[in-house]
């Protein structure tokens, strides 16, 4: 599609099928690299120099803007990795049923990547646009965070092509933290001399209750023990036990508080000790960082004759949290409508793509003019 010629439904579906039929679990270099080759091909002529950035073995794609000028660049941000393991396509292939398209990763967020390319084709002037597609967002962006921050730092705006929420843009996201508490006890025979042991599982049980109590429902802060491990055999006092912890909060200060409280946990069982690893993964995307862009999107939607733009705040985090934390205006959820993210049967509404691509293109054009 040449710049400005209009949205092409068949091209969108063809490109989406090609992306979905390349399996890309987090960090899977062969699948990610194959995806980036397609994105490079489709963005040639629309964007500047192509870079494949490899961090700790995980590849990421970055395309610079075509020209440097008095207009600050804008960043289109997304990820190519999915939560689906290799082999998922074998019993869940890409499928089109009218305007409903299904397949692993189709909603979160391969359709958003294709939509970004469609929007670039509609925008006309894309000389000030950067594109960054990462390969490990679904596991916390552990290798891509520095790259995201470096690429975004001098941008005037970040547009995140994550899926919408029932068509609504995402103007606020919770921040998150990830921790693991390990209890070290002492093994002993559970029948012959249990008194010689220090039961790490019993101690961990006390800690799990204390950890869960650190949440604050009134402020929307959740502290959730998730994955737990302990013991070696049925007849051995467990010498080690651990629990992973998922923390979500709307407010930066709440993440800081929970981390501080976790670091003050103390063992209740004589002879046991606690170890804590982990920390804050990303601060919240607060609405103040998206409000001006939301107003712009609403104005542009009216001017383009599009449906009214709505907003939502969501508990899940995205890479937009990183850019908002840098003080860069960030608007999220610009991908198409659909549903079922991270679940079998996730789907995309292709009827929503034309309007959303038109809106993203309008946002790109609005940032091409000096202010």
Half-sphere exposure of 271 (CA within 13 A, CB side): 13
| Beta strand pairing call for 50-55 and 58-63 | antiparallel
Enter the pTM of the model: 0.89
pLDDT of residue 3: 40
Domains of the chain, CATH where assigned: 9-174+284-366 (3.40.630.10), 175-280 (3.30.70.360)
Q: What is the pLDDT of residues 267-314, one digit of tens each?
A: 999 999 999 999 999 999 999 999 999 999 999 999 999 999 999 999
CA distance readout (Å), 237 to 3, 158, 181, 228, 346: 68, 53, 19, 16, 44
Instruction: For residues 23 and 128, give the distance between their C-alpha atoms in angstroms, rounded to a whole number.
Output: 31
pLDDT of residue 8: 81
Instruction: For residues 41 and 120, give the distance between their C-alpha atoms in angstroms, rounded to a whole number.
Output: 13
pLDDT of residue 308: 97
pLDDT of residue 6: 63
Q: Which residues of the chain have pLDDT under 50?
A: 1-5
| Beta strand pairing call for 74-79 and 129-134 | parallel
Greatest extent of the chain over all pairs of C-alpha atoms, in Å: 80
What DSSP line would sit under 312-369, residue for residue? EEESS--THHHHHHTT--EEB--S--EE-TTSTT-EEEGGGHHHHHHHHHHHHHHTTS
| Beta strand pairing call for 74-79 and 157-160 | parallel
Half-sphere exposure of 54 (CA within 13 A, CB side): 6
Unique residue bearing structure tokens 């003019």: 369
pLDDT of residue 371: 61
DSSP 218: G
Strands across the sheet with 175-184, in order? 222-230, 240-249, 175-184, 273-282
Half-sphere exposure of 77 (CA within 13 A, CB side): 33
| In contact, 255 and 220? CB cutoff 8 Å | no
Unique residue bearing structure tokens 């204390």: 210
CA dihedral sign, ordered 316, 322, 325, 328: negative
Q: Give which of 298, 369, 366, 353 is closest to 6, Cα–Cα.
A: 353
| In contact, 335 and 111? CB cutoff 8 Å | yes
Instruction: For residues 52 and 62, give the distance between their C-alpha atoms in angstroms, rounded to a whole number.
Output: 6
Instruction: For residues 63 and 74, give the distance between their C-alpha atoms in angstroms, rounded to a whole number.
Output: 12
């Amino acid at each position: 599609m040449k710049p400005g010629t209009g949205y092409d439904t068949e091209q969108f579906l063809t490109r989406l099928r090609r992306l979905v039929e390349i399996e890309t679990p987090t960090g899977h270099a062969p699948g990610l690299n194959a995806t980036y080759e397609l994105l490079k091909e489709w963005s040639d002529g629309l964007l500047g120099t192509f870079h494949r950035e490899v961090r700790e073995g995980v590849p990421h794609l970055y395309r610079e803007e075509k020209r440097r000028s008095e207009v600050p660049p804008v960043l289109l941000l997304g990820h190519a990795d999915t939560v689906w393991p290799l082999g998922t396509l074998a019993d869940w292939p890409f499928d089109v049923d009218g305007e409903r398209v299904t397949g692993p990763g189709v909603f979160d967020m391969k359709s958003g990547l294709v939509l970004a390319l469609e929007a670039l084709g509609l925008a006309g002037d894309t000389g000030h646009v950067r594109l960054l597609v990462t390969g490990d967002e679904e596991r916390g962006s552990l290798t891509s965070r520095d790259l995201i921050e470096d690429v975004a730092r001098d941008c005037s705006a970040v547009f995140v092509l994550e899926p919408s929420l029932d068509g609504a843009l995402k103007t606020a996201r919770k921040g998150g933290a990830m921790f693991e508490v390990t209890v070290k006890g002492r093994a002993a025979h559970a029948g012959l001399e249990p008194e010689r042991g220090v039961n790490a599982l019993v101690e961990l049980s006390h800690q799990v209750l204390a950890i869960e109590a650190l949440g604050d429902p009134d402020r929307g802060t959740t502290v959730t023990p998730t994955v737990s491990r302990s013991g070696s055999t049925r007849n051995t006092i467990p010498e080690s036990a651990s629990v992973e912890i998922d923390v979500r909060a709307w407010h930066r200060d709440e993440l800081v508080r929970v981390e501080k409280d976790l670091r003050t946990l103390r063992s209740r069982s004589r002879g046991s000790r606690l170890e804590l690893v982990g920390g804050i993964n990303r601060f919240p995307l607060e609405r103040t960082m998206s409000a001006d862009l939301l107003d712009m999107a609403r104005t542009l939607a009216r001017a383009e004759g599009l449906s009214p733009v709505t907003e939502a705040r969501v508990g899940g985090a995205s890479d937009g949290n990183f850019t908002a934390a840098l003080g860069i205006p960030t608007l999220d959820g610009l991908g198409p409508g659909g549903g079922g993210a991270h679940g079998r049967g996730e789907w995309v509404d292709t009827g929503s793509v034309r309007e959303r691509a038109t809106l993203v293109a309008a946002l790109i054009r609005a940032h091409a003019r000096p202010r």
